Amino acid sequence: MSIGRRIAFGTAQLTLGNLFVRLLSLVSIPILTRLLTPGAYGTAAMAITLISFISAAALAGADISYIRAYYAKQTAPSCAVEAFTWRYSMASALIAAAAVAAFWGPLAKAFSLPSYAGWLVSGGIVLSVASTMASARARLQSRNGALTIATACAGLGSVAASIPLAYAGWRNELPILAGLATSFLIPVLILGIPPLGVLLRSSGLSPAVRRDIFGIGIAAVVNAPAYAIMTSSDRWFLAYHQGADTAGIYSVAYGIAIVGMTVNAAGLYVWTPEAARLFEARLPNSIQQLGRITEVMIAALAWVWLAVAAAGGDIVRLFTAPAFHEGAAIVPLIAASVFFHGVIHLGNTVCILEKRLHRSAWWWAAGAASSLLLNAVLIPYAGMLGAAVSQLLAFAVTALGLSFNARRMLAEHINWMRVLLVLFTVLAAALAAVPAWSEAPLVSLLLKFPVVLLTAPIIASYFGAGAILRTALAGAKAVPQTELTTQMELAGNEHSGDR
């Protein structure tokens, strides 16, 4: 099996696991939204935001350093790299968790969280970092099947932990937080961690080598917290200005709107390694092919936005309690943010190919600053719609910035008129498909389905997407497996907060 096919097969496995988790959420949402109040979801969203932000800062890109340095044997032995990155990440997580526990009183007051949740937040930070590192370790070992199983079991475990607690009478945020902690713990149990002997003894690396390894992922010190701000700060402002109930309604609709992330995740595992393979083959037309495949990827992301924007509002009305139906209005806007998230990674691939990842940090920082400013201005006046617009514009700023970085390599090799034609077609279909076609959400979904489905072959007719991909696979020589795996994992783990 060729390198490209092995990567595609692994991507298909992981995508199935992610889709399974999304389907589980559609099963659990009708149950939990009828047992729990919007306020419970809002409080849980604040706690999850805190866990996400602190764990990303504590990790500080150690997973990226782990992946990138593991195969660079000229830098340090693999076992030493593993020992150093694991020891650093877990020590940092434990220190962060202890600090949260020590200062939980003022933190709970600032974020309007219950006093008992301190141990859940602290434990969630440690488990989140451990889960990220365990996933990185499994990817280094090419254990895609185990990753798929771990993802599916994490989803099952989350549902199994949350629903019984809600039925048992805990009608607050506890079932949601318990489900989150379970979803972090299960991958660690399935995928495993290095032997305790590795974790307890020093890596033996010199200070200079440790600095070099740590420096590989240092951009994530900016990128990961920036991502957490861009995807979570809207709920901070909503809870402050509109209350926990509004933040809870927003969070439920948000979870449905980001289903397109499953396609983005697949892109991280297919697009980046294929781009690396074409780039390293140094063929005369490698850059041209990268430009043409970029067009195909943009078209795919745009069609996914159309599908989610058209169906998302009806799904909110179909699967949630009436108290949450107001959130349907934000689905198209948040789904557009997911589109720009995909564009960000297309632009980021160029930074990887040019080995200039630090350039991405500036644009992630700009996106985070835009998010905070726009949330502060829009949410007091526009509520949930203001929050969704703020997130959309913040991701658009980062996407445009990284696309600007990529212009030197790809701009002249992209048919911009074709890209604009694709976007115009998708927007025209969205004008018709986004509004509800019936008061009954299931009927509305069934009526819209043919319109969304027929848009796909119309877009494909603009260019031979399948022919482009087959040409790319057949025309380039394979690069060494270690280099390709490193490029793939570096891309896939650059923003560990995506999970």
* Confidence label for 284 from pLDDT (cuts 50, 70 and 90): low
Percent of the chain with pLDDT over 70: 77
* pLDDT the model gives residue 121: 93
Domains: count for the chain = 2
In this structure, are 150 and 252 located in the same domain? no
> Is 18 domain-assigned?
no
Q: Is the dihedral of CA 368, 51, 223, 298 positive or negative?
A: negative
> Is 159 domain-assigned?
yes
* Residue type at 454 in one-letter notation: L
- 59 burial (CB, 10 Å; 0-12 / 13-18 / 19+) is buried
In this structure, are 437 and 478 located in the same domain? yes
Measured between alpha carbons, how far is 307 from 459 in angstroms, rounded to an integer?
13
In this structure, are 203 and 258 located in the same domain? no
In this structure, are 352 and 433 located in the same domain? yes
Domain boundary among 198, 218, 238: 218
In this structure, are 173 and 240 located in the same domain? no
Three-state DSSP string of 250-286 = HHHHHHHHHHHHHHHHHHHHHHHHHHHHHHHHCCCCH
Helix or strand or coil: residue 85? helix
Considering 82-86, 127-131, 295-299, the range whose residues carry the highest mean pLDDT is 127-131
Domain boundary among 218, 252, 267: 218
CA angle 230, 129, 147 (to 5 degrees): 95
In this structure, are 282 and 429 located in the same domain? yes
> Is 30 domain-assigned?
no
* Residue type at 442 in one-letter notation: L
Measured between alpha carbons, how far is 168 from 294 in angstroms, rounded to an integer?
50
- 474 burial (CB, 10 Å; 0-12 / 13-18 / 19+) is exposed
Report which of 242, 239, 250 is spatially closest to residue 113, judged by C-alpha positions: 239
Domain boundary among 218, 238, 253: 218
In this structure, are 204 and 235 located in the same domain? no
Average pLDDT value for residue range 33-59: 85
Distant-in-sequence, close-in-space partners of 481: CB < 8 Å, separation ≥ 6: 3
* pLDDT the model gives residue 272: 58
Which parts of 278-374 are beta strand (E)?
none
Q: pLDDT tens for residues 322-345?
A: 888 988 999 999 999 999 998 888
Distinct helix (H) and strand (E) counts, the chain? 21, 0
In this model, does residue 2 exceed pLDDT 50? no
* Confidence label for 11 from pLDDT (cuts 50, 70 and 90): low
In this structure, are 49 and 153 located in the same domain? yes
Q: Is the dihedral of CA 60, 64, 68, 70 positive or negative?
A: positive
In this structure, are 355 and 450 located in the same domain? yes
Q: What's the gap between Cα 375 and its chain centre?
A: 21
Average pLDDT value for residue range 371-388: 93
Measured between alpha carbons, how far is 309 from 303 in angstroms, rounded to an integer?
10
In this model, does residue 474 exceed pLDDT 50? no
Half-sphere exposure at residue 101, Cβ-oriented, CA atoms within 13 angstroms = 13
Tell me the residue length of the chain: 499
Q: Which structural domain, as residue segments, surrounds residue 109?
A: 36-218
> Is 13 domain-assigned?
no
In this structure, are 283 and 310 located in the same domain? yes
Distant-in-sequence, close-in-space partners of 322: CB < 8 Å, separation ≥ 6: none
> How many other CB atoms are found less than 10 A from the CB of residue 1?
8
> Is 53 domain-assigned?
yes
Measured between alpha carbons, how far is 315 from 276 in angstroms, rounded to an integer?
38
Average pLDDT value for residue range 112-122: 89
H helices of 168-260, in order, are 174-191, 196-200, 207-216, 220-241, 244-257
